[in-house]
């Protein structure tokens, strides 16, 4: 059976993109099945230059779309561009550009996905919040990997509140649970790790007009209404960089008036999704309704009510 994996990564002035790709390959059970698509937002510095990962292209399956960082329109715009290179791979993976992987990560997630399919889940989607790893940039060395000795301890997303702009707050590691190496049903997504069928990248294509706040929620609503069911993987699959200082991102590397413009547009976009306005291919799906998602997630979005007991 073809077990190819399309791996979409948006990288914004991040020298770790090279190490993320190499670690993903090194820790893979079958590296030849990996197909990387990188939206590289670069500058003129060593490590984040236009050619910073060109040396990898000849050795691995890597496609790169390059933009000077001044051309960037944000993370969702970049993810949308990375998705454009999808070429009928069996599976898809979305991860951040500063990620490290467990050994045989691909074998584990494919097994989890296949087991869920065998149990009658038509469109499984695996997502979780990777715990942190630390790194010494001067020594070019990864240091500590949180929960490495407790691989079945995962964060189960739980909404704290829903804002007036309709985005929910469910950030942080505030609900860590031992899932006992069994995929666990969840109602929300984490953009830093999403694994599912390859066609997801076209069926639920990233809305390039989203920005940062609320984009994962919009993605969850759209994925669920397109028939996807969300689960954690059976264990920790990857780790996310804990930066000693806030790294450069589009919203903090531009003038506030520019970031505010993109944020305001994204909030309008989320409101239109919730209110049922026509967003074309970036709207809700036709398998389930928004109301069915609210029932599943125990929330009332328009009234900003969280119904957890």
pLDDT above 70 for 233: yes
Report pLDDT for 1. 73
Closest C-alpha among 127, 120, 136 to residue 155: 127
Share of the chain above pLDDT 90, in %: 96
75-102 pLDDT tens trace:
999 999 999 999 999 999 999 999 999 9
* Complete DSSP assignment for 187-207: S---TTEEEEETTHHHHT---
What is the pLDDT confidence band of residue 116, given thresholds at 50, 70 and 90? Answer: very high
Q: Which CATH number fits domain 5-306: 3.40.350.10, 3.40.50.12160, 3.30.1490.20, 3.90.550.10?
A: 3.90.550.10
216-232 pLDDT tens trace:
999 999 999 999 999 99
Question: In the predicted model, what is the mean pLDDT of residues 224-249?
Answer: 96
Q: Are 192 and 129 in contact (CB under 8 A)?
A: yes
CA dihedral (118, 128, 306, 301) positive or negative? negative
What stretches of the chain adopt beta strand conformation (E)? Answer: 5-12, 34-42, 62-68, 91-95, 99-101, 124-127, 132-136, 141-145, 153-155, 161-162, 168-169, 176-178, 193-197, 229-231, 238-241, 299-300, 305-306
Could you give the C-alpha distances from 296 to 161, 186, 247, in angstroms and in order? Answer: 16, 10, 35
165-210 pLDDT tens trace:
999 999 888 899 999 999 999 999 999 999 999 999 999 999 999 9
pLDDT above 90 for 161: yes
Distance of CA 15 to the CA centre of its chain: 19
What is the pLDDT confidence band of residue 163, given thresholds at 50, 70 and 90? Answer: very high
Question: In the predicted model, what is the mean pLDDT of residues 9-30?
Answer: 98
Q: Are 69 and 44 in contact (CB under 8 A)?
A: no
Query: What is the chain's length?
Result: 309
Could you give the C-alpha distances from 94 to 73, 85, 191, in angstroms and in order? Answer: 19, 13, 7
Report pLDDT for 104. 98
Q: Domain residues of the chain, as ranges?
A: 5-306
């Amino acid at each position: 059976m073809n077990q190819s994996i399309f791996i979409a990564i948006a990288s914004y002035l991040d020298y770790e993109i090279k190490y993320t790709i190499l670690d993903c390959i090194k820790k893979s059970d079958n590296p030849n099945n990996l197909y990387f698509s990188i939206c590289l937002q670069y500058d003129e510095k060593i490590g984040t230059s236009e050619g910073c990962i060109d040396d990898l292209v000849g050795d691995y399956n890597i496609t790169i779309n390059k933009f000077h960082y001044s051309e960037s329109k944000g993370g969702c715009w970049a993810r949308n561009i990375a998705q454009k290179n999808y070429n009928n791979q069996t599976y898809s993976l979305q991860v951040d550009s500063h990620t490290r992987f467990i050994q045989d990560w691909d074998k584990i997630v494919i097994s989890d996905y296949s087991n869920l399919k065998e149990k009658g889940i038509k469109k499984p989607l695996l997502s979780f919040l990777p715990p942190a790893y630390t790194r010494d940039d001067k020594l070019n060395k990864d240091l500590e990997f949180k929960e490495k000795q407790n691989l079945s301890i995962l964060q189960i997303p739980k909404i704290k509140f829903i804002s007036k702009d309709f985005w929910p707050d469910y950030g942080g590691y505030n609900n860590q649970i031992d899932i006992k190496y069994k995929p666990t049903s969840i109602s929300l997504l984490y953009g830093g790790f999403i694994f599912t069928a390859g066609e997801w990248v076209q069926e639920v294509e990233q809305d390039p007009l989203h920005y940062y706040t609320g984009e994962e929620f919009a993605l969850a609503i759209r994925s669920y209404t397109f028939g996807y069911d969300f689960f954690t993987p059976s264990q920790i699959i990857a780790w996310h960089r804990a930066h000693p200082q806030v790294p450069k991102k589009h919203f903090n590397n531009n003038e506030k008036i520019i970031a505010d413009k993109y944020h305001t547009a994204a909030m309008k976009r989320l409101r239109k999704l919730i209110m049922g306005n026509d967003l074309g291919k970036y709207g809700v799906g036709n398998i389930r309704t928004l109301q069915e998602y609210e029932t599943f997630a125990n929330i009332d979005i328009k009234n900003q009510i969280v119904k957890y007991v």
